[in-house]
Amino acid sequence: MAIPHEMLPPAFISRIGELMSTQPSDVATPVVSDFYDRFPYPADPLQDGPPPGYNWRWCHDSVLAVVRGGVGTQDLDQPPLRILDAGCGTGVSTDYLCHLNPGAEVLAVDISAGALDVAIERLRRSGGADQVRSLRQEQRSLLDLQEENCFNYINSVGVLHHLRDPLAGLKALGKLLAPRGLLHLFLYAEAGRWEIHRTQKALELLEAGTGSEGLKLGRALFSELPEMNRLRRSHEQRWTLDTQADANFADMYLHPQETSYDLESLMTLIHSSGLHFAGFSNPSVWNPARLLKGELLLRAKALTPSAQWALVEQLDPEISHFEFFLSAEPIRPFCWDDDERLLGASARRQPCLWGWPSTSLLGPDLEPQVLTEEAFELLSLVENNPGVKLGSLHSAENTASIARDLLQRKLLLLEGSGGDEC
Ligand SMILES: C[S@@+](CC[C@H](N)C(=O)[O-])C[C@H]1O[C@@H](n2cnc3c(N)ncnc32)[C@H](O)[C@@H]1O
């Protein structure tokens, strides 16, 4: 008979996978897990108490507000929310996932015992487990989770590109997604890593290795190359801060197993997995208005979304990663054009706000947001009266337009009846 995880001591829980899986499903697994045992990533310091600020990509409500513009009542009928952090590393993302999704059931897995040890300690000190219904942190491959029940949200940041066969990993995660679930991925982009790849190749030719010797030689390389050398300049201008910690430097320049994508090969990967693209999680990067104006922008805006992204990829060769959502089923965003429908919905406040309650605050992307007194009043009423329909909460004539403005700014999340029909 299986022992429920909640009844096991944490140290035992973390080692379950070690005992269960003797044969890794990916031939690269031992090389990669050894590497992260040496260099647990990310190197963010441990601290007591909740992690600083927020990252809306790790808050399920905020993700729904961005991807679907609302949450379906059928989702509300099926608590608790189940979240998987696949390739959790030292637990920074798991920590936010616990603090930003109170009451959820969270499973965090990683193949590296060294990384997982740090993750367990991080969550112990931050009190992450107290926020959720259950937290399991296990040494397992994301390829070996077939017996798990499906998840509403899967986060896998910076992981699949370290598998020998990233498509196999993506398909494995896809099988774990609930029918209306979402997957958040981060994968390397070829163009913006051009100098990194050259440096990796040079260190390989110098037989620097993937341990402390490689670290020493890699750091020496950047101080000895001529000051105007392009690899050195790129490192100093873009990556010095990120790679101050040895583990982060090693992750960037010494990795034994990685793949990068361009937009075309990324879309082929997604298509081959049978999953559906549900939008970038850094959409402003893919907006041509960031780079063009006047007639050029008008021409760009006339293109299809995918042609606009291709254009941005050509115009900005510094993009070094893709971050995006995938879904098991095609996304049909909520449509709140109809006043009656909108006023008949209950609502939630965007959880990722800095400075709330106030009329002057920072939004999910830490962008300044100013609220009118009316908008502030509506958001406060929503927060203090969970489950109450907007129309009954606020009697002003312009409630619908205030709510639409908040919705458009991702400050409000509506709970729609009847699914995500548009
Ligand atoms: C670059 S780190 C990213 C860590 C974390 N997701 C983050 O972004 O903070 C990649 C992590 O993926 C883990 N990993 C690689 N292949 C894996 C697999 N097949 N299953 C689970 N974890 C894996 C590595 O051990 C490593 O900790």
42 C-beta closer than 6 A to ligand 1: yes
Q: Is 166 in the pocket of ligand 1 (CB under 6 A)?
A: no
One-letter amino acid at 2 equals: A
How does residue 23 score in pLDDT terms, banded at 50, 70 and 90?
Answer: low
Whether 41 is in the pocket of ligand 1, judged by its Cβ within 6 Å, is: yes
- Choose the residue to mutate in 162, 165, 184, 193 for probing ligand 1, maximizing ligand atoms within 8 Å of C-beta: 162
Exposed/middle/buried for 378, CB within 10 Å: 0-12, 13-18, 19+?
A: buried
Q: In 3-state terms, the chain is what percent helix, strand and coil (to 5)?
A: 45, 15, 35
**Is the predicted pLDDT of residue 14 greater than 70, yes or no?**
no
- Cβ–ligand 1 distance for 109 under 6 Å, the answer yes
pLDDT digits (tens, 9 = 90+) for 303-329: 999 999 999 999 999 999 999 999 999
Instruction: Name residue 292's amino acid.
Output: L
* Nearest by Cα to 89 from 39, 14, 129: 39
Asked if the model's pLDDT at residue 27 lies above 80, the reply is no
Side chain identity, residue 122: R
Are 92 and 188 contacting, i.e. CB atoms less than 8 angstroms apart?
no
Atom of ligand 1 nearest to the CA of 92: 9
Sequence-distant (≥ 6) Cβ neighbours of residue 404 within 8 angstroms:
336, 342
Q: What is the pLDDT of residue 125?
A: 98
Q: For all residues of the chain together, what is the average pLDDT?
A: 91
Q: What percent of the chain has pLDDT over 70?
A: 91
Q: Is the pLDDT of residue 6 over 50?
A: no
CB 292 within 8 A of CB 246: no
Strand locations in 119-221 (E): 134-139, 151-157, 177-188
87 lines ligand 1 (CB under 6 A): yes
- Please state at what angle helix 305-315 crosses helix 294-301, rounded to 10 degrees: 140
Edge-to-edge strand ranges of the sheet holding 412-416: 71-72, 412-416, 346-349
Convert the pLDDT of each residue in 178-231 to its tens digit. Answer: 999 999 999 999 999 999 999 999 999 999 999 999 999 999 999 999 999 999
Minimum CA distance residue for ligand 1 atom 13: 87
Question: What is the distance of C-alpha 61 from the center of its chain?
Answer: 13
* Residue among 96, 216, 160 at smallest CA distance from 108: 96
- The candidate with the shortest Cα–Cα distance to 150, out of 173, 129, 118, 171, is 173
Contact (Cβ atoms closer than 8 angstroms) between residue 80 and residue 105: yes
Q: Is 71 in the pocket of ligand 1 (CB under 6 A)?
A: no
Q: Looking at residue 29, what is its pLDDT? A: 85
Please give the residue that has the higher pLDDT: either 16 or 82. Answer: 82
Nearest to 332 by CA among 74, 68, 70, 63: 68
| Cα(164) to centroid(ligand 1), Å | 13
Q: How far apart are CA 199 and CA 201, in angstroms?
A: 5
| Distance, CA of 175 to CA of 181 (rounded, Å) | 11
Mutate to test the pocket of ligand 1, among 58, 110, 148, 183 (most ligand atoms within 8 A of CB): 110
* CATH code of the domain made up of 1-190+260-333: 3.40.50.150
C-alpha 129/C-alpha 98 separation (Å) is 7
Closest listed residue to residue 155, CA positions, set 195, 98, 203, 202 = 98
What pLDDT score does 76 carry?
Answer: 61
Q: Which two tokens stand for residue 311?
A: 């254009």
Region of poorest pLDDT, from 8-17, 66-75, 103-112, 254-263: 8-17
Ligand 1 centroid to Cα of residue 89, in Å, is 5
Pocket of ligand 1, candidates 92, 111, 139: which has the most ligand atoms within 8 Å of its Cβ, to mutate?
A: 111
What is the CA(90)–ligand 1 centre distance, in A?
9
Integer Cα distance of 185 and 86 in angstroms: 10
Dist. CA 158 → ligand 1 center (Å): 7
Q: What is the pLDDT of residues 205-214, one digit of tens each?
A: 999 999 999 9
Task: Provide the Cα torsion 103, 105, 137, 109; round to 10°.
Answer: -130
SS (H, E, C) 352-393: CCECCCCCEEECCCCCEEECCHHHHHHHHHHHHCCCCEHHHH
Q: What are the residue ranges spanned by the domains of the chain?
A: 1-190+260-333, 191-253, 339-416
Q: How many residues are recorded in the chain?
A: 422
The model's pLDDT over 375-398, given as tens digits with 9 standing for 90+, comes to: 999 999 999 998 899 999 877 889
- Is the model's pTM score more than 0.85? yes
The span from the CA of 132 to the CA of 100, in Å, is: 9
| Structure token pair of residue 358 | 């106030």
Using alpha carbons, select from 328, 307, 371 the residue that is nearest to residue 67. 328
